[in-house]
Chains A and B, each alone.
Chain A
Amino acid sequence: MRALCWYGKQKVRVETVPDPKILNDRDAIVRVTSTAICGSDLHLYNGFVPTMERGDVLGHEFMGEVVEVGPEVRNLAVGDRVVVPFPIACGACEMCRQQLFSLCENSNPNAWIAEKLWGHSPAGIFGYSHMLGGFAGGQAEYVRVPFADVGPLKVPRGLSDEQVLFLSDIFPTGYMGAEMCDIQPGQVIAVWGAGPVGQFAIASARMLGAERIIAIDRHPFRLRMAQIRAGATDVINYEQDDVQDALAELTGGRGPDACIDAVGLEAHGHGLSYAYDRTKQALKLESDRPLVLRQAIRACRNGGIISIIGVYGGFIDKFPIGAVMNRSLTIRSGQCHVHRYLQPLLERIERGEIDPSFIVTHRMTLDEAPRGYDTFLNKRDECVKVVLAAA
């Protein structure tokens, strides 16, 4: 089959690799009809995630048709149309039973590597480094899905691929980011990053009843989408305005009730602090650039919530713990526990409360994936989201 393989920093190629096979009794094989390039794939593309191997098949946002099931998979049949959550979860361990699916204790065969870096291991993830399992990803014609009796969601024929594809990751991720804010009527939520996850965090904050939602980014076309399509009430372009001043102005000096970081470890900015983090990261003295976190913590109102859904990998410096402690801030975070949001969010789509396809700006075939990575990374042609459809 054809698959998008990683070969190093900003080097990806579509190659012919062996077809996936059933390796465990609870596996299924899915023929991928649509897959997308995620902002977190750009962290792999830019070489910020350790334990990648040349030839790794990428991709963790995908959907398609079941073509084969293992002997223990009884809930799926060949021909079913499914969306697959990006974390792999067994459904039986303590974390899964608590609905914390991205922390499954049994789905990462390389847990020992993650334990060295993070103390304990989270779940395995499709196409996302060897530290998170070494699973081949879904930017391919076919993909093997472990624990297929737990993860995949059957989707009705009436909805298009683009309407349900993002249930695999970014819609639930944005939704969880907003949910972690404990939104009360009348509240003001600020969202850093108006990329795909930020757009869904904004749309979800709106669905969860926030009165005002402020989007922060530097690309006018993304801020425009945030305002017109996702439902942001205000926008701040940090290249034109000072974020702290603008947030103070927009919130009567209180600061936002909750701040969502939908950016993560490759944050951009300007000034001394940005130069400092770029330098430390280049010298490998700091793995992640925490510009957004510092800004969000500084801006947040007393007693507010910082919700982190942008991906971080390792260590940061100059973390303002004094502000967190003295101003009673709460930090919430996590890779999305996708499984628990699948059904409720599918129902919101079916009821017409949201049409997630609004973020798609570029459609390509799998063979054009390398151009898709370049277009998305460099925001060419006002790119927000690239979907790769089966040829």
Chain B
Amino acid sequence: MPRIKLIPNIPNLQRRNGRRAGDVARASMSIFVVASVNAIDSFAARRSTDAEIAGVIDDEGRHRTATAVTTIGLPIDDVYAFLRDFSNFPRFMTHLDSVAEQGDGRAHWRLRLPGGRTLEWDTELIEERIGELFAWRSVADAQVDNRGVIRLIPAPGGRGTEVHFDIRYTAPTGGFGVLIATLLGMAPGQRVEGDLRRLKQLLETGEIVHSDASIHRLMHAAQPPTDQFVQRHMTEEAA
């Protein structure tokens, strides 16, 4: 059996000028190569965990498109009935203040902006296949161009309902529009994923679970909140 030669037979060119110089050069080369590989290695590890957020911001930030999907352990008819009632949306889409059903597939949406201004618009149903899909879009003269589609598919193995959610906002032009666009989502996909997670919690457990940190808007230590904070938070939730 032929033996594999592990060390290639490279002539030692430096031998005459002194062995040391060659060794040092080789060693530094090896260190450089190992360091480079390690740098790429750690970069790749970080990249592989940095999941792409499903969402697109385009046209100088005016359009916000986002898609998200989840599976809810309830029959498709129950999930459809809950979602088809637009007034339920603010219960899991935390940026909305209220959505009022106005009959005939029309709904009135309301969102409070920082500084006390409110943004309101009307939508109409543009497609409905009961127990399967419905889509809406804002009416012609609305302040905000909003459209969305919700598609439901039975999950295999009787595991409930797959909810596919696509939503898009186009803010008006100008400074006000930029403010709205910012509010509607720095990372639109992440916001909608959060919305669907809350929807799942609400339908499966009857509540949206809070932690001592998650009730705060910004990062906060995992310490119980103060009485004042809880009072304010509960008042906001009730409103």
Seen from chain A, the residues whose Cβ lies within 8 Å of a Cβ on chain B are 3, 5, 17-21, 23-26, 53-57, 72, 88, 90-94, 97, 105-107, 109-112, 115-119, 124, 127, 130, 133-137, 144, 146-147, 280, 283-285, 314-315
Cβ contact within 8 Å between A136 and B223: yes
Cβ contact within 8 Å between A112 and B50: no
B25 at the interface (CB under 8 A from A): no
Other A-B contacts than A92-B205, A137-B222, A314-B45, 14 sampled, CB-CB below 8 A, are A17-B224, A23-B215, A24-B208, A25-B207, A26-B207, A53-B213, A54-B221, A57-B222, A92-B73, A94-B73, A106-B201, A109-B214, A134-B214, A285-B38
Cβ contact within 8 Å between A133 and B50: no
Given contacts A117-B49, A285-B38, contact A112 B205 (CB under 8 A): no
The CB with the most chain B CB atoms within 10 A, among A90, A93, A109, A112, is that of A109
Q: Is the interface of B mostly helix, strand, loop or mixed?
A: loop
Seen from chain B, the residues whose Cβ lies within 8 Å of a Cβ on chain A are 38, 41-42, 45, 49-51, 71, 73, 159-160, 190, 193-194, 197, 200-201, 204-215, 219-227, 230
Cβ contact within 8 Å between B221 and A133: no
A289 to B214: give the CA distance in the assembly, Å: 31
Cβ contact within 8 Å between A144 and B212: yes
Nearest-Cβ distance from residue A89 to partner chain B, whole angstroms:
10
Contact of B222 among A24, A97, A136 (CB under 8 A): A136
Q: Is the interface of A mostly helix, strand, loop or mixed?
A: loop
Cβ contact within 8 Å between B204 and A90: yes
A254 to B179: give the CA distance in the assembly, Å: 69
Task: Find the B residue at minimum CB distance from A21.
Answer: B230
Contact of A56 among B49, B197, B221 (CB under 8 A): B221
Question: With a CB–CB cut-off of 8 A, which chain A residues contact B219?
Answer: 53, 130
A316 to B141: give the CA distance in the assembly, Å: 57
Question: With a CB–CB cut-off of 8 A, which chain B residues contact A3?
Answer: 223
Nearest-Cβ distance from residue A19 to partner chain B, whole angstroms:
6
Question: With a CB–CB cut-off of 8 A, which chain A residues contact B220?
Answer: 53, 134
A118 to B48: give the CA distance in the assembly, Å: 10
